[in-house]
A and B are shown apart, each in its own frame.
Chain A
Amino acid sequence: MAGRDTQASAVDTGPVGAEIEEERRAEAYAGEPPFKTEPVSNRLVVALKDAAIAGLITLALAGPMIGLRTETAIGGLSLSQHWLPVAVTVAVVALGRLVLNLFVWNRAPGAPSPVGGVADVGGRGAASLAALLDKWRWQAMVLVIVFALAMPFMPFAGRYWMDQAIVVLTYCMLGWGLNIVVGLAGLLDLGYVAFYAVGAYSFALLATNFDLGFWVCLPMAGLLAAGWGLILGFPVLRLRGDYLAIVTLAFGEIIRIILINWYDLTNGPDGISGIPRPTLFGIPFERGEGGFADLFGLEYEPIQRIIYLYYIILILALITNLVTLRLRRLPVGRAWEALREDEIACRSLGINTTNTKLTAFAIGAMFGGFAGSFFATRQGFISPESFTAIESFIILAVVVLGGLGSQLGIVIAVIFLNAAFELLRELQEFRMLIVGMAMVLIMVWRPRGLIATRQPSVFLKKRQAVSADLVGEGRG
């Protein structure tokens, strides 16, 4: 309003120069500061009102769902009432909202969302971390690899920690494989677990039917998964974005349904058991004559097999990482990233988008297949249960939470998620609930993932990390 008045008066008195007008404008604004701080009492009232509304909404949400629990009873359903948890939930939400409003967000309710401010704080912390990592890049990498290699011989590395390490590495490998498709080529794939399943079942079927060993089957499983990657990739080439996501999701479900129903081949929901364990050049990790311990003159311990499995997955994961890093610098890798940034520009520059997308799908799928065969040989038993859509979501969540396209971010996200799972083991029921809420919160807090900088593979003079905000996420 003030600005308009000034202008009107300026017209009345004729042109008097920009200087005078500016002064007047400043004067006019002085009476009406745009960022007036509200009196504290008023803020308290507003915050209380806001908290009350939040509490009421929570009551509407939680009241019937938590307060009234349907129980199976004779002759239909009966209700049991649980009002205490409802009261606790409502109180937590209302009080939490009040505290956040008064002390954390420090703003009048109704003002723009606080997310930007919070993200800034997080962004700064992570930027300095990334800068530090950038500086000590090689040293950090060597340190981590040496630690990973030496881990089985550390005093704390019992059965539990080795198992955890194997799980972490398996998911790292899956995350890195999916990262090629989603992070580098920008193709949103929600059915990645299908390739994991193809790899696992290929290995299981080849090993149980034709008596082949792990090392023979591993490349075959990878190839078969890559083949399926092509089969899926070919029809969906023209799809973009969310459509691609939903078709790949459907594809993952189709594979699972076929695995459940093709009883003759896959043994249906009962799964395949008796999958052979991996051997070291034909030496099995077994007790007694001809086993690993016997040949090397060691005391037999079951953990020897676990350590061997650990080294297999460590090497597989490192290969995945190395191949991805090298591929990024090859023409095909650059084409992936170019495709992610702008498909139309790519096409106009003569990049064959069909081949580019297909290679991304196939190579990503191949690593999924490798991880799948490893999973099968580690478990010794597989069933369609292990390959549900939720598994795909977890792998995708790892990639996105870590930061699309960031290899390191994926490792951090896997360790974080795995630690969360383990810490919440006591709260068996609440585990997935908390993981789901954490996904939402982390995404709201840091939409670009935990590692918010990217290393460009091409640069003019000096390699310099760029903010993830400058990197396209692909549109299909």
Chain B
Amino acid sequence: MEYFVQQLINGVTLGSIYGLIAIGYTMVYGIIGMINFAHGDIFMVGAFIALIALVVLGVTATTPFVILLLALLLVIVVAMSLSAVWGWTLERLAYRPLRGSFRLAPLITAIGMSITLQNFVQISQGARVKPVQPIVTGGYAIMERDGFVVQISNIQIVIILVTVALMTGFTVLIAKTALGRSQRACEQDSRMASLLGVNVDGTIALTFVMGASLAAVAGLMYVLYYGVIDFYIGFLAGVKAFTAAVLGGIGSLPGAMLGGLLIGLIETFWSAYFSIEYKDVAAFSILAITLIFLPSGLLGRPEVEKV
């Protein structure tokens, strides 16, 4: 029981990170109907920017609480805005020139961008893994029995809180603001939206920007939680987050979050109770099974095919 609760907490934390990345996939897929293949690498770049910002600010576990809080906020802002520039550039270089071109073309450019980003980071930051000393430390013991202590650490609390806050913020943004309205309009019918005066190119660029900044937050959380990053983390995290987006129903924001949570939980429980070697196989199998039996996901709308 205690073991189960502990794994539950770990799974929710992991799921929050996946969920944040998945939002980027789901929004982009919703608006242009394409998998943004390089999104996982934007997450990786975001993680690196966050890491660099952390090192520049020189925060450690011994930094006083208030300063630590301010520093982390600053890191979030820096990572989000710089990753947003990356996301915008990605859209500008790899997607916009090919809008209206045949369907495989943007996928290939996205794969090219993904290779480019990975190798760019490998060259500029080095191929070796970057270890970070734990910055947010401490935690609370929730339960204890027979010497097994269920712990929820501060960093886990931070991750879950930040994710919930961002999710709420973005849901409101999509549902209530003019930006969200034009975004949903582009999703439904981009040609009609442009006839009615919605700046479609701008809206699509903004979608990439928002996805990239959320991925940057996920990157910072990843750095703080795992303490180790390298230039290759984007691939696996990207595929899993995409799985999460598909599982939740692509195009749906709450779906992405739900899918992220489920993937995080499944992966954690699989590693805890079955085999840690095959945890990626579990995630990939779920992707295949979902797509085959539930193509529109848990919260997605079924796709109607027009002839």
Residue positions of A touching B, CB distance < 8 A: 57, 60-61, 64-66, 68-72, 75-79, 113, 115, 182, 188, 235-236, 238-239, 241-243, 245-247, 249-251, 253-254, 257-258, 260-261, 344, 389-390, 393, 396-397, 400-401, 404, 429-430, 432-433, 435-440, 443-444, 447-448, 469, 473, 475
Verify B113–A440 contact, CB threshold 8 A.
yes
For the complex of A and B, list the 9 residue pairs with the smallest distance between their C-beta atoms, beginning with the closest: A439-B112, A436-B115, A436-B116, A250-B284, A433-B119, A440-B112, A447-B105, A261-B277, A447-B101
Chain B min CB distance to A116 (Å)? 9
Chain A min CB distance to B250 (Å)? 9
Known contacts A241-B103, A250-B287, A257 near B112 by CB under 8 Å: no
Once the chains are docked, how many angstroms separate the CA of A57 from the CA of B48? 18
Once the chains are docked, how many angstroms separate the CA of A223 from the CA of B188? 46
> Which of B50-58, B170-178, B190-198, B254-262 sits within the interface?
B50-58
> Which of B7-15, B263-271, B288-296 sits within the interface?
B288-296
Once the chains are docked, how many angstroms separate the CA of A395 from the CA of B120? 21
Chain B min CB distance to A52 (Å)? 15
Known contacts A236-B288, A246-B239, A443-B108, A61 near B89 by CB under 8 Å: yes
Known contacts A188-B107, A404-B104, A443-B112, A436 near B85 by CB under 8 Å: no
Q: Which residues of B contact A64 (CB under 8 A)?
A: 49, 52-53, 82
Which residue of the partner chain, among A188, A243, A257, contacts B278 with CB atoms under 8 Å?
A257
Which residue of the partner chain, among B82, B98, B105, B130, contacts A77 with CB atoms under 8 Å?
B130
Once the chains are docked, how many angstroms separate the CA of A72 from the CA of B133? 11
Verify A247–B291 contact, CB threshold 8 A.
yes
Verify B108–A238 contact, CB threshold 8 A.
no
Verify B89–A77 contact, CB threshold 8 A.
no
Once the chains are docked, how many angstroms separate the CA of A68 from the CA of B242? 31
Verify B280–A257 contact, CB threshold 8 A.
yes
Q: Which residues of B contact A250 (CB under 8 A)?
A: 239, 243, 284-285, 287-288
Verify B52–A68 contact, CB threshold 8 A.
yes
The answer to the question of B102 belonging to the interface, with a C-beta cut-off of 8 Å to chain A, is yes
Known contacts A65-B48, A236-B288, A243-B246, A77 near B102 by CB under 8 Å: no
Which residue of the partner chain, among B29, B35, B125, B295, contacts A239 with CB atoms under 8 Å?
B295
Verify A439–B109 contact, CB threshold 8 A.
yes
Q: Which residues of B contact A437 (CB under 8 A)?
A: 112, 116
Which size class do B's interface residues fall under?
35 or more
Verify B116–A440 contact, CB threshold 8 A.
yes
Verify B288–A251 contact, CB threshold 8 A.
yes
Which A residue sits closest to B280, measured CB to CB?
A: A257
Residue positions of B touching A, CB distance < 8 A: 29, 34-35, 45, 48-49, 51-53, 55-56, 60, 82, 85-86, 88-89, 93-94, 96-98, 101-105, 107-109, 111-126, 128, 130-133, 235, 239, 242-243, 246, 277-278, 280-281, 284-285, 287-288, 291-292, 295, 305, 307
Chain A min CB distance to B252 (Å)? 16
Chain A min CB distance to B205 (Å)? 12
Verify A242–B52 contact, CB threshold 8 A.
no
Q: Which residues of B contact A69 (CB under 8 A)?
A: 124-126
29 contacts between A and B (CB under 8 A): A64-B49, A65-B125, A66-B124, A69-B125, A70-B51, A70-B126, A71-B126, A72-B131, A76-B55, A77-B130, A79-B52, A238-B295, A239-B295, A243-B291, A246-B287, A251-B284, A254-B280, A258-B281, A344-B307, A389-B235, A393-B115, A396-B108, A396-B111, A397-B108, A404-B104, A430-B119, A436-B112, A440-B116, A444-B109
Which A residue sits closest to B104, measured CB to CB?
A: A473
Chain B min CB distance to A247 (Å)? 5
Once the chains are docked, how many angstroms separate the CA of A199 from the CA of B260? 35
Q: Which residues of A contact B86 (CB under 8 A)?
A: 61
Verify A473–B124 contact, CB threshold 8 A.
no
Verify B116–A397 contact, CB threshold 8 A.
no
Q: Which residues of A contact B235 (CB under 8 A)?
A: 389
Query: In the complex, given contacts A64-B52, A76-B60, A261-B278, what are 11 additional A-B residue pairs having Cβ atoms less than 8 angstroms apart?
Result: A57-B89, A77-B132, A188-B107, A236-B288, A246-B239, A253-B280, A393-B111, A430-B123, A433-B119, A435-B115, A437-B116
Which A residue sits closest to B286, measured CB to CB?
A: A250
Which A residue sits closest to B127, measured CB to CB?
A: A429
Q: Which residues of B contact A440 (CB under 8 A)?
A: 93-94, 109, 112-113, 116
Once the chains are docked, how many angstroms separate the CA of A432 from the CA of B280? 26
Which residue of the partner chain, among B34, B97, B239, contacts A113 with CB atoms under 8 Å?
B97
Verify A65–B120 contact, CB threshold 8 A.
yes
Q: Which residues of A contact B29 (CB under 8 A)?
A: 242
Once the chains are docked, how many angstroms separate the CA of A241 from the CA of B34? 9
Which A residue sits closest to B92, measured CB to CB?
A: A57
Once the chains are docked, how many angstroms separate the CA of A397 from the CA of B113? 12
Verify B56–A68 contact, CB threshold 8 A.
yes
Q: Which residues of B contact A75 (CB under 8 A)?
A: 133
Chain B min CB distance to A454 (Å)? 13
Verify A70–B103 contact, CB threshold 8 A.
no
Once the chains are docked, how many angstroms separate the CA of A79 from the CA of B58? 10
Once the chains are docked, how many angstroms separate the CA of A72 from the CA of B288? 39
Once the chains are docked, how many angstroms separate the CA of A393 from the CA of B114? 11
Chain B min CB distance to A57 (Å)? 6
Q: Which residues of A contact B130 (CB under 8 A)?
A: 70, 72, 77
Once the chains are docked, how many angstroms separate the CA of A243 from the CA of B35? 9
Once the chains are docked, how many angstroms separate the CA of A118 from the CA of B283? 43
Verify B242–A65 contact, CB threshold 8 A.
no
